[in-house]
Amino acid sequence: MKAENDANISTFILLGFSEEPELQPLIFGLFLSIYMITIFGNLLIILAVISDPHLHTPMYFFLSNLSFVDICFISTTIPHMLVNLQRENKATSYEGCITQMYFVSVFTVLDNFLLTVMAYDRFVAICHPLHYTVIMNPGLCGLLVLGSWFLSSLACLLQNLLVLRLSFCTDLEIPNFFCELKLIVQVACSDAFVNNVVMYFSVLLLVGGPLAGILYSYSKIVSSVGRIASVQGKLKAFSTCASHLSVVSLFYCSCLVVFLSPATTHSSQSSSTASAMYTVVAPMLNPFIYSLRNRDIKRALKAFLLKGTTKGHLF
């Protein structure tokens, strides 16, 4: 394959999970179901938080933002994959691939920042309960969310601008179901040394830094909870963190598997499966993790659904 010049446009062929025709309807049905469940589940979380005044607190404000980001996150990958499954030509335009890569990167980093902000919220609630309402005031909460959006967009814009300087060959095969930054850089025909350096530095800074913040917050939480005399008090304190810890574990473990795995191990099925864990499975499971382990959310969801059912009967 020869490198394309500026007059021509490269295309990327997304190999997806499997090229066997008999498996395509099964994959289509599975991911369509996952997409609908994810949208419905996260939307319910958002509506429950908005409709219940008791949930108008920093913790649930951040949770509703996480649910919104997860809806956006999964919507950048699954719809395009479902369209590809229904057509013979799997090619994606250069512009389309770069755009998808940007938004996937933004929402990945944004998920990471929001999970860090939620860890900080739990740290303040447990370690400084008397000053919680003063520290986690509406102004700071809004600033933390806006700052997360701004930093995510800016950092990923830099990554995209560096990718634009690369040359690509024609009809490049991507062993995944969406355009992922690491794989796009790997198939470039030109030297990608700068891209790799910036990419791994960004992962260290934008993922390692927040992860260190989460671990630090929980180390302080464990230390603070250890000083609580009653066992019931300890269990109550830890129960407020259980859902967040579950989501953090799922998200970071799947991300680290993708970004730290060597290029030689990448096949279409292994890359797609690993990437699906943080782009598809995590957004789908988040509503279940938070709703099943949180009495306030379950109560708000029941009230919201009962209200909707009552209105339906009235009309």
Q: What is the pTM of this model?
A: 0.89
Mean of per-residue pLDDT scores for the chain: 86
Model confidence pLDDT, tens digit, residues 253-293:
877 777 666 654 555 677 788 788 888 988 998 888 887 76
Separation between Cα atoms, residue 302 and residue 286, nearest integer Å: 18
For residue range 177-220, list pLDDT tens digits in order.
999 998 899 888 888 999 999 988 998 898 889 999 999 999 99
pLDDT digits (tens, 9 = 90+) for 40-75: 999 999 999 999 998 999 999 999 999 999 999 999
CATH number for region 11-302: 1.20.1070.10
> Residue 314: is its pLDDT beyond 60?
no
Q: Which residues contact 237 (CB under 8 A, 6 or more apart)?
A: 126, 221, 224, 225, 228
Contact 98, 163 (CB under 8 A): yes
Distance set, CA 61 to CA 105, 136, 152, 295 (Å):
23, 11, 19, 16
Which tens digit of pLDDT belongs to each residue from 78-130? Answer: 999 999 888 877 788 999 999 999 999 999 999 999 999 999 999 999 999 99
Q: What is the mean pLDDT of residues 297-315?
A: 71
User: How many CB atoms neighbour CB 166 within 10 A?
Assistant: 18
**Torsion (CA) 274, 39, 145, 62 in degrees, nearest 10:** -100
Beta strand extents in the chain (DSSP E only): 11-14, 91-93, 172-174
Numbers of helices and strands, H then E, in the chain: 13, 3
pLDDT for the residue 6: 43
